[in-house]
Chain A
Amino acid sequence: MNDAQPQPGSRLPAFINVRALERRWRRLSVTDLVVWGIGVVLLLFVFWRIVLTFGQGAYTLESFIKNVIFGLAQGSIYALIALGYTLVYGILFMINFAHGEVFMSGTYIGFFVIAAMEESGFLAEQTLLALLIVFAVGMLSSMAVAVTLERIAYRPLRKAPRLVPLITAIGASIFLQQAFRGLFGSSTKVYPHVHLYALPQLFPQLEDGKGMDLISGKYDVQFALLGNDVNLVVQPFIFVIFIVALLMMAGLYWYVQRTKAGKAMRAVAEDKDTAALMGINVDRVIVNTFAVGAALAGAAGVLFALYTYQVTHTMGFIPGLKAFTAAVLGGIGNIPGAMFGGFALGFTESVAPGLLSIPHQLKDVVAFSMLVLILIFRPTGIFGEVLSEKKA
């Protein structure tokens, strides 16, 4: 069926490609209709709940804004962890259940360093330098754990069926959790409350002249918006995490897209065997991927601990799960996708229960339903391009 000449005068705007739409319509099958039907029903349910909530009038703009900010905080944390996850996932297409434990190990070792520094008073004097040291230690220990993990549990199985490394990842995850419990005890370790003062000129009135406490400071903010005044308690650290997440994503994106090592990674992601033919040392690239992924996880771990203070040997499991969800939501192997997936997850968990007046105990139910809704309309994730079957 060759394309007829486009009749002059009836040309639609360039971006509506009529032929593509036709082709898509003809290819629609019953399942597509049924599945989209379910999607539409879910959407209607969401709108109905939103209308219901506003109908009751209990939902104020102020609590909406607060939930948005809480969502931003939670979303940045998920995005940070997802970035490290999606790198390994995008290259090796392996559901790395042990990533949560790599994230935890950086945080745990970081604790010993920051606790020692706090006792010696070094943390109070040189806060910025101390924090950099803790970040370095966290990232290095995560990288060490990840590289050893890859060497022992994943490399021998590279040729094995895809599900086999999944089991070694589970075994490694259990082993690492119990190892850290055996080594360092099962009590909860607590990060000290760090105070990093900045820009005293801009904020003379805060913290009696020392400037804004970027990490554990909480400040009241009042402003009027759309007619009703809003007073919030804002923690600047939320925006610090957001910016760090953005920087990390940009850095990672630059590293993968622009540098030679990044190109090698993308080649290995495309096809390991062909990459090997092109002279790429596949093993080194994979170790490199693990190292970079783990470094991001370590940094995310230290930031997570500075924000939530508590560190235990089992803290990695749930964040690892959420990172996996965010990575898939954003599209497998897509770095901006992982970031976006993390934010989408964070916002849904914070904003949706209030907005849809669903009890907060069910926030994970809402988050996963939102995941199903998005994957119904975009079966390969938000930014995921339709990959060849081999990679999906």
Chain B
Amino acid sequence: MQKISRDSLNLGLIFTAAVLFVTLIGMPAVFDETAMIFLTAESALTLNQVMLIGIALGAGYAAARKQTGADPAALALNGAVAGGVTGLALAVFTALAAQVDLRGVFVNVSPELLNVLSFGEPGVAGLLILLVGGVALGALGALLTRLPARVQSVGVVTLFITLLVGLLQSNINSLINPADALIVTLWVGAGYLAAGRYGNSSIGRYIGALADDRAGGMRAPALRGLLAGLLAGLIVALVLLAGGSAGLEASLLVKGLWVDQSTLAGLILILVTGGIGGLAGMLLSVSPATVHNMGLAFITLLLVLGVVYAERKLSIVGALIVGALIVALQLLGRTTSRAADARHAALAAPQRRRVGILNVIVGVLILLIVPQISNLYITSVLDQVGLYILMGLGLNIVVGYAGLLDLGYVAFFAIGAYATGVMTTPNLVTCPPPGDNVIVMTQANADAGYLEDSYRALSRESVGVVVDTPAVYAANVIRRTTIVPFDSLDAAMAALDAGDIAAVVGQQPELASYLAAGSLVTSEPFRPNRTTWEPPRFTETQRAAWCGPILPFWAAWPLSGLIAGIAGVLLGIPVLRMRGDYLAIVTLGFGEIIRIVTLSDTFADYLGGAQGVTEIPSPVIDLTALSGISDAFKQPIALSSASQVYYLILFSVLLIMFVANRLSHSRLGRSWMAMREDEDVAQAMGINLVNAKLLAFSIGATFSGIGGAVFGSWLHSIFPNSFTLLVSINVLSLIIIGGMGSIPGVVIGAFALIGLPEVLREFSDYRMLAFGALLVVMMLLRPEGLLPARPRKLENHQDQENGTGEAISPPQTVQAAPPVAEAAVEGGN
């Protein structure tokens, strides 16, 4: 009788705790409505079933991994025990919860939850399913460990991605239709095969000779790729000419190129795009392994999106196809990437640089067309990721390079946003709120007592009170009212036209003459206890006359970056002598100070207070001067929607990444890194700590200020509750998750930190719960970050140096750097 080890019992208990926690929270009931894979028209594999099966399989798998022996029967038994314990616990809970009303304490233990748990079967039958299911799945999970490691890893990745596609199907089911995906793959594939693999086939040598490319350079593969692309383009064109199948008509790409133009122009356009596709395929075949795999993954993504588009949802057939594609990607990826890497290494140095540059160009081209093919939601998420990349790059300098832990980084983002908002919005500083008005009154009315009562009728933000008689009503009855004594009505009107007074509201007949001139707004004669007081309606011309933006966006944007930079210096000075966590708490305090100042009433006149800054105009690109070239530039383009601001953000991200990259290799960058390792040693080496720290703070702040400016103009309004401590923590998390001090790390970190919650939207109520758990799991798996900076990676693994330079698998515990060199807040090692 095989021995049931204590480990599998412990594991059973751990997984029982997990399943009970998940149930008490009410996940099964909520997740039962999310369909992952549609097995048949009505029934579908729901997220709840996937979760429960996953837990049972996981229990069995974990139990088997703990076993030393490889005997399948023992493994299966232990797996079954672990799964069985979990299933039993769930069954007992369901039975118990049916009798005892737990809702007093555990709110979500509702009748539907119990119904879902027992799969709709009343009484004992449901409990049996849970128990038998637990045992069977546990055993199955255990047996999975018997599969070879390679099969296991490929299987897990495929299953995970397929389920992810199932989870997101409602978001991605209308992006690229299958015809487009196939055509692009055809073109790129043709170029790839022609340039790479079949280089030395007869045709290949012939073309090589044609291009008299003796030195094994780029010309032969490039030519082959181009020809292959053109050939593929021709095939597509021929199919179209022959009145091809309906599928081709449906393709947007072809329709865009072919149908709208005349046949000849359409033909040429298709050939050209086919050629470009071929060249891209060629490029892929000679680029380094990582870029090669990214290209391959992009093509697979296109195909997967095409599959989901076909049926607008993920059916069982669709799921199998997607799974097959992912398996092919992994198997193909490993072999072909080594070949591509070899070809890349074989290239001469200048060619290799050219390939690098071409890769960057293709990458940016793809980035440029993303908003055209994706919907507004994905573009707005990418916008937010872009803004967080900007902030991440700035904080990466402060924490990643200079090692100064900054927990109040959102302050500079807020300063940038408010600076641009105030400078470009007309209604704040430049002109009083619409409620302002002035009461003009004759002595007769004053004697009749209207004066004192009409003050009360005035709304609180009045600008001045004019009395057209020498008697001045001195008492400042209404707060924030400044009394502007004019000795005559005409003087008051002159002041109005000069814009000193916002408006004049009066009730005298002789005011009528001014009314005609449109320079005056009046409301019907008001009685003191009016409750129907309506603030006067200002015509657009009047508002524009008084209030105008201080600066257009394009001037305010760099200025806000500068203002944020100055604020960075101002924060930097008091903290020069502080280190480590003392620095962290002061910067945290600075962040809170800025948030409360923008929220407070005292500064409400300038910063909008609790009502925030609204009606921020979006940046306008006025190219009417070039209107001769094409009618697209006739009227000025306002970057208001997410897809338009995307390009603004893309431009700033590319620019700032370039600046940050140059900085990290500059003298200043190296002095930061020295300072991060050890301040005292850096000072001993002659690095001026004060300048280095202040520069780090101000450059980091400038990047964040630039991001803030775009944030305000994109959303047309900014409120204090967008600049909380959680934003600073999010930015800090993204640079640590991405990998300290590495620019690609910041990009990956931003995608993880901002993209993940959006992906988890499918979990509805449990979005933040899953996000918190994933944050912990990510850090446990990769302590040094997803894409650590090169020096940091080497430092961490100098004891596991292996010759091939192969990506070093992360050891479970990263070996600590020698204590002496550990800086106050060592950013990474």
Contacts and interface: CB of A to CB of B under 8 A. Distances in A.
B531 interface: no
Nearest to A325: B585
A9 interface: no
A114 to B, nearest CB: 13
Contact of B26 (A38, A165, A171, A182): A182
A359 interface: yes
A95 B581 contact: yes
Interface in A305-346: 321, 324-325, 328-329, 332
A161 interface: yes
Given A168-B780, A361-B601, A178 B581 contact: no
A163 B597 CA distance: 29
A70 to B, nearest CB: 20
Interface stretch (B267-275, B377-385, B552-560, B819-827): B819-827
A31 interface: yes
A167 B106 contact: no
Interface string B786-829: 00000000000000000000000000111110010011111111
Main SS at interface, chain B: helix
Given A321-B725, A371-B586, A371-B589, A159 B596 contact: no
A212 B397 CA distance: 59
B574 A164 contact: no
A173 B725 CA distance: 14
Interface stretch (B167-175, B345-353, B475-483, B763-771): B763-771
B736 interface: yes
B119 interface: no
B827 A175 contact: no
A392 B579 contact: yes
Interface string A172-186: 111111110011110
A361 B586 contact: no
A178 B592 contact: no
A32 B826 CA distance: 24
Contacts of B732: 163, 166-167
Contacts of B725: 321
B766 A178 contact: yes
B375 to A, nearest CB: 28
Contact of A168 (B107, B765, B776): B776
**Best-buried of A95, A162, A163 by chain B (most CB within 10 Å):** A163
Nearest to B27: A182
A83 B827 CA distance: 28
How big is chain B's contact interface, by range? 35 or more
B596 A152 contact: no
A182 B775 contact: no
Contact of B825 (A162, A176, A178, A329): A162
A359 B602 contact: yes
Contact of A185 (B107, B593, B733): B107
Nearest to B570: A38
B825 A157 contact: no
Contacts of B579: 379, 389, 392
A376 B106 contact: no
B784 interface: yes
Contacts of B780: 153, 156-157, 168
A171 B577 contact: no
B581 A161 contact: no
Given A161-B829, A184-B107, A379-B582, A178 B769 contact: yes
B193 interface: no
B605 interface: no
B822 A372 contact: no
A172 B776 contact: yes
A171 B777 CA distance: 9
Contacts of A372: 574, 586, 589
A172 B772 CA distance: 6
Contacts of B96: none
A296 B26 CA distance: 32
B576 interface: yes
B773 interface: yes
A167 B690 contact: no
Given A324-B585, A361-B596, A379-B579, A167 B108 contact: no
A52 interface: no
Given A35-B576, A359-B600, A361-B600, A164 B592 contact: no
A39 B690 CA distance: 18
Interface in A26-70: 30-32, 34-35, 38
Contacts of A170: 729, 733, 772, 775
B601 A184 contact: no
A174 B775 contact: yes
B783 A157 contact: yes
A271 B679 CA distance: 21
A210 to B, nearest CB: 32
A381 interface: yes
B650 interface: no
B586 A389 contact: no
A182 B733 contact: no
B24 interface: yes
Contacts of A179: 21, 25, 769
Interface residues of A, number: 64
Contacts of A324: 585, 588
Given A35-B576, A38-B574, A161-B783, A171 B589 contact: no
Interface stretch (A201-209, A213-221, A281-289, A362-370): A362-370
A24 interface: no
**Best-buried of B580, B601, B680, B823 by chain A (most CB within 10 Å):** B580
Contacts of A361: 596, 599-602
B108 to A, nearest CB: 7
Given A362-B600, A379-B578, A392-B580, A325 B589 contact: yes
Given A167-B775, A390-B819, A392-B824, A364 B577 contact: no
B584 interface: yes
Nearest to B26: A182
A321 B577 CA distance: 23
Contacts of A160: 779, 783-784, 813-814
B746 to A, nearest CB: 15
B176 interface: no
Given A171-B773, A185-B108, A392 B581 contact: yes
Given A95-B581, A375-B578, A379-B579, A161 B827 contact: yes
Contact of B596 (A157, A178, A365): A365
Given A159-B816, A161-B829, A163-B736, A369 B783 contact: no
B766 A156 contact: no
Contacts of B765: 182
Nearest to B812: A156
Interface string A253-296: 00000000000000000010100000000000000000000000
A159 B819 CA distance: 12
Nearest to B769: A178
Contacts of B737: 167
A166 B495 CA distance: 60
Interface in B198-220: none
B546 interface: no
Contacts of B21: 179, 183
A145 B597 CA distance: 36
A112 interface: yes
Nearest to B767: A178
A151 to B, nearest CB: 11
13 contacts: A164-B779, A171-B774, A174-B775, A176-B772, A178-B766, A332-B582, A365-B592, A368-B592, A368-B593, A379-B579, A389-B680, A392-B579, A392-B580
Across chains A and B, which 10 residue pairs bring their CB atoms closest together, nearest first? A171-B775, A368-B589, A174-B772, A175-B772, A185-B107, A182-B25, A178-B769, A160-B783, A171-B776, A328-B585
Given A171-B774, A183-B107, 20 more contacts: A30-B690, A35-B577, A38-B573, A157-B780, A163-B825, A164-B779, A165-B779, A167-B733, A171-B779, A173-B772, A178-B769, A185-B108, A324-B588, A328-B585, A332-B581, A359-B602, A362-B596, A365-B592, A375-B586, A392-B580
